[in-house]
């Protein structure tokens, strides 16, 4: 049976372990230790993603393996997190994120495995994939050794809200980076001899199609770095952004629109150097509602009294990479709201529901 106190203790313990992207060794050690204690066979691939396997205990037709996945890393500010219980909620002290994304997902998998083992009942073979560096480009999933996995369906515990929110469609993403080089000059003595990279960047930003483009397409420039001092005409500027769409034709269209804007601005400023790179980081998916993976998650939700909600998302997750590799592992909610903010909150009863659904998936209800 799912143990609320153990679940809460595990979640708090994991949250207290700093694991910003690229610094997952400590959380890896803790998770590996806990998985081994649950009887899992632990492997690490060349990127140090965790792949753990727990054999099933039945040889019938229901004994197909299932993947349970979550990621180990968190975003900034995520060091020295102080989790605080507030009624049925868990939050930080307001100076950092909580790290519920994705510590709640990790906790759900651990507690579900513990509960199923304690019950002694039927379980499917389980393959756990805990990835590194998901934030900022699904890096761990892209480097995951899929040869270590045999399952063809599963669940990615990495969605906002309740567990019955099943993400059945998600976009492709193209990452956009640009470097602009003008010419430095003293801003007070000879500004006319300078070429401002910031002003050129402003021209670019004024022409790019940004924001909500349509119901399945967005674009954004999320970061700009430029200049050295207020009395120097800025010589260099850097832009970092993205284009997303669940329709790859639209993704291509707006990527080309970006290129045309940069070409136009380059023609206006022949003495400046402007470079643009657009690189795809993950591919869209749209899974039919009758797929066995959706059916399995839906049955698990219904078994604990929840109505499955099929949703299309504007965000990517490790699921994009799993599905591209032929494994239909779909994201579900983990009971957490306001990802990536200092007011991020984990709703303990909703996290508990996540465990109950995970347990039912393992049991093959």
The single residue of 28, 30, 101, 134 carrying the catalytic annotation is 134
- The SS3 assignment for 189 reads coil
Which 3-state string (H, E, C) describes 247-286?
CHHHHHHHHHHHHHHHHHHHHHCCCCEEEEEEEEEECCEE
- What does R_g of the chain's alpha carbons equal in angstroms? 23
The single residue of 24, 73, 127, 344 carrying the catalytic annotation is 73
DSSP string, 64-83: --EEEEEE--B-SS-SS---
Q: Measured between alpha carbons, how far is 282 from 72 in angstroms, rounded to an integer?
A: 19
Strand partners, 173: 244, 282
In terms of Cα–Cα distance, which of 207, 194, 308 is closest to 257?
207
- The SS3 assignment for 145 reads coil
Tokens of 322: 């799993």
* Largest Cα span, the chain: 83
Strand partners, 345: 91, 337
Catalytic-residue membership of 216 = no
- The SS3 assignment for 7 reads helix
Catalytic-residue membership of 73 = yes
Catalytic residue list: 73, 134
């Amino acid at each position: 049976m799912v143990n609320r106190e153990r679940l809460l203790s595990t979640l708090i313990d994991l949250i207290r372990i700093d694991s910003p992207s690229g610094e997952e060794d400590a959380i890896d050690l803790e998770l590996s230790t806990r998985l081994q204690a649950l009887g899992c066979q632990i492997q690490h691939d060349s990127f140090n993603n965790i792949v753990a396997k727990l054999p099933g205990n039945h040889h019938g037709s229901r004994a197909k393996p299932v993947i349970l996945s979550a990621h180990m890393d968190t975003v900034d500010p995520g060091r020295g997190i102080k989790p605080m219980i507030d009624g049925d909620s868990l939050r930080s002290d307001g100076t950092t994120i909580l790290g519920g994304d994705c510590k709640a997902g990790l906790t759900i998998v651990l507690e579900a495995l513990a509960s199923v083992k304690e019950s002694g009942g039927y379980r499917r073979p389980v393959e756990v994939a805990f990835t590194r560096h998901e934030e900022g480009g699904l890096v761990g999933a892209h480097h995951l050794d899929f040869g270590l996995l045999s399952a063809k369906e599963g669940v990615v515990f990495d969605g906002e809200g309740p567990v019955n929110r099943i993400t059945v469609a998600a976009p492709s993403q193209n990452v956009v980076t640009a470097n602009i080089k003008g010419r430095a000059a003293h801003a007070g003595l000879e500004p006319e001899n300078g070429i401002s990279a910031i002003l050129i960047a402003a021209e670019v930003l004024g022409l790019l199609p940004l924001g909500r483009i349509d119901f399945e397409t967005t674009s954004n420039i999320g970061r700009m770095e430029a200049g050295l001092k207020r009395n120097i005409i800025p010589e260099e500027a850097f832009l970092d952004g993205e284009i997303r769409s669940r329709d790859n034709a639209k993704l291509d269209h707006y990527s080309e629109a970006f290129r045309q804007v940069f070409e136009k601005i380059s023609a206006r400023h022949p003495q400046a150097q402007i470079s643009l790179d657009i690189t795809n980081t993950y591919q869209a998916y749209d899974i039919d509602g009758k797929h066995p993976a959706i059916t399995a998650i839906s049955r698990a939700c219904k078994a604990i009294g929840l109505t499955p909600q099929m949703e299309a998302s504007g965000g990517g997750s490790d699921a994009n990479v799993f599905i591209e590799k032929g494994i239909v592992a779909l994201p579900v909610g983990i009971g957490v709201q306001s990802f990536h903010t200092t007011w991020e909150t984990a709703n303990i009863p909703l996290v508990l529901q996540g465990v109950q659904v995970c347990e039912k998936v393992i049991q093959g209800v």
